[in-house]
């Protein structure tokens, strides 16, 4: 599921004619960082807890780099109006 989402994001970046070359490069870099963190996660243990709130807090604590990469990408997209 996450792999497909990342592929969709990459396709959108490549096809968006409104992005400057710099924006395209920055977005691709953010996505590459995200992919690296997702790969690390897939190699390790996936954890689950009882509630969504508990899961999010646990996930943020146990995977701070992945959380940071997702936040970086979302912030960048929001800043350019996507």
pTM tops 0.75, yes or no? no
> In this predicted model, what pLDDT tens digit does every residue of 41-71 receive, in sequence order?
766 655 544 565 676 778 888 889 999 999 9
Any idea how long the chain is? Answer: 82
Distance in angstroms (rounded) separating the CA atoms of residues 30 and 40: 16
CA-closest candidate to residue 73, choices 60, 63, 82, 64: 82
By percentage, how much of the chain surpasses pLDDT 70? 82
CB 40 within 8 A of CB 62: no
């Amino acid at each position: 599921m996450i792999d497909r989402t990342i592929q969709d994001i990459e396709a959108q970046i490549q096809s968006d004619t409104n992005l400057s070359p710099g924006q395209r490069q920055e977005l691709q870099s953010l996505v590459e960082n995200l992919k690296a963190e997702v790969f690390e996660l897939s190699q390790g243990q996936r954890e689950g807890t009882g509630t969504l709130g508990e899961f999010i807090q646990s996930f943020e604590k146990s995977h701070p780099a992945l959380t940071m990469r997702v936040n970086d990408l979302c912030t960048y997209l929001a800043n350019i109006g996507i």
